Amino acid sequence: MPNIAPQLQPEPSSQPQLARRLGLFDATMLVMGGIIGAGIFINPYVVAQKVHTPALILGAWAAGGVIALLGAFIYAELAERLPMVGGQYAYIREAYHPLLAFLYGWVLLLVIQTGGMAAVTVTFSRYFIELTGLHLPEAAVAVLTLAILTIINCLGVRTGSTVQNTLMIMKIAAIFVLVAAGLFYIATPNIVWRPLTDRPLGLGLASDFGAAMVPVLFAIAGWQTANFAAGELKNPKKDLPRGLLLGVIGVIILYMAVNYVCLLALGATQLAQTKTPASAVMSAAFGTKGATLIAFGIAVSALGFLSQSVLTAPRVYFAMAEDGVFFQAIGRISSKTQVPVFAIILQSIWTAVILLTGKFEQILNYVVSMDFIFFGISASCIFVFRKRNVGDAQNLMPGHPWTTALFCGICALVVINTVIRYPANTLIGIAILFSGIPVFYLWKKAKSA
């Protein structure tokens, strides 16, 4: 097979090109920003409802961290072998078929990215209104927030990344404050380590542990979105793999610390009954001021996730348009700012449509299954690329092929478990996925005509 490694330095062209202005710190912040949203401040209680002892709760988050780290190694190698704009879209296209890559971009736009963004935008709006005391409609605040972030990212990747980095640092600071509150200001620890499990080992416990993994995986996914922006990194073959590993390891440490202090302050039983565990910890430590402080941290975290999403995901739609399987305008780059302005605007408009129609909560039920279908497909690209000797790259994935096969198997199990537990929602997501097949061929026919 011929080596299909991409040309990192594009040939001179009269057309505007994406600007390579991001470095290792930017890549690391993109990875962390794509993972950390508002979920870590809320999801601990969801996990505690599924499994009921500290050992199992922390075990679920630790297992999610291991899966995320395996994914980071896989995507680090993919990024080094094929440092192209579009990330997963490019890997699937080169390893398998343009149709399969298009279907990924199709559900990314219709379901995965925009559905998650709509939910997080509403979360930010609620906290913003609560903190400011302004009597404004949630929808108005949400749409205005999207509009501001869209404008910022249309001004250039450096401007968008600077805003994203600032918000990411503020997110980390908020998590540090929460962890410090739990460790040093909770007078009476409530964590009880015995028993390790609340029932005998068996299929029932395994099923519940698998159900607990769904919110964990939703909260810890997102590392792959940094790969979308590979075309704007100064040295993607070096900085993107490092950024992936540093970012995921950093998130694992932060997430385990948050869950530990939630258990320390509330205990497993109370945690399962507390829908706002972060606020409960801060209230126990600092009273009303603590609750206000963490509300600000959650708002910043949600805003940072949105900023990262507006910056990264439009690069997939841009890559699709460049391949001639999406609207031609989406593939245009601004000559002034060197970013795909129309792709950014398209994603924000569709996100606004979803949040205004109130369908985001339903769409979130499709996200995990759709995400993990393509996580598994993307991970399997390593087998193809190594066989074809794609890219002048190191074999970064330790323990391959066993570890890669393990990750793919875990992705398959997550999808199967989601189908079993939420069959109607998952089937709707799959129907949306397959609806892209005729659209792909219509675009191909229009291009050839």
Query: What pLDDT band is residue 278 in, cutting at 50, 70 and 90?
Result: very high
Domain ranges in the chain are 24-448
The pLDDT assigned to 243 comes to 93
Check pLDDT > 50 for residue 1.
no
The pLDDT assigned to 3 comes to 44
**Mean pLDDT across the stretch 214-236?**
87
The pLDDT assigned to 349 comes to 96
> Residue 241's CB: how many other CB atoms inside 10 A?
25
The DSSP bridge partners found for residue 233 are 22
Give the three-state DSSP class for 197. coil
Check pLDDT > 90 for residue 391.
no
CA distance 374 to 92: 9
Closest CA to 28 of 250, 312, 313, 302: 250
The pLDDT assigned to 196 comes to 84
Helical spans, DSSP H, in 287-422: 288-312, 314-322, 341-357, 360-388, 402-421
Amino acid at 352: A
Task: Say which residue, 53 or 190, is predicted with more confidence.
Answer: 53
Check pLDDT > 50 for residue 87.
yes
The pLDDT assigned to 109 comes to 94
Residues 307-353: tens digit of each pLDDT = 999 999 999 999 999 999 999 899 999 889 999 999 999 999 999 99
Task: Return mean pLDDT, the chain.
Answer: 88
Ramachandran assignment for 397, one of left (phi > 0), alpha (psi -120 to 50 degrees), beta (any other): beta
Whether the full predicted model's pTM is greater than 0.85, yes or no, is: yes
Phi, psi of 233 (to 5 degrees): -90, 140
Check pLDDT > 80 for residue 441.
yes
Contact 47/34 with Cβ under 8 angstroms?
A: no
The pLDDT assigned to 448 comes to 76
CA distance 302 to 73: 26
Count the alpha carbons within 13 Å of 234 in the hemisphere toward its beta carbon: 7
Q: H or E stretch including 423?
A: helix 423-434
Query: What pLDDT band is residue 364 in, cutting at 50, 70 and 90?
Result: low
The pLDDT assigned to 393 comes to 66
Topology of domain 24-448, CATH: Amino acid/polyamine transporter I (1.20.1740)
Check pLDDT > 50 for residue 244.
yes
Task: Say which residue, 393 or 267, is predicted with more confidence.
Answer: 267
**Mean pLDDT across the stretch 32-48?**
89
CA distance 143 to 149: 10
Check pLDDT > 60 for residue 430.
yes
Place of tokens 């930017």: 26
Q: H or E stretch including 176?
A: helix 157-184
Contact 115/345 with Cβ under 8 angstroms?
A: no
Check pLDDT > 50 for residue 412.
yes
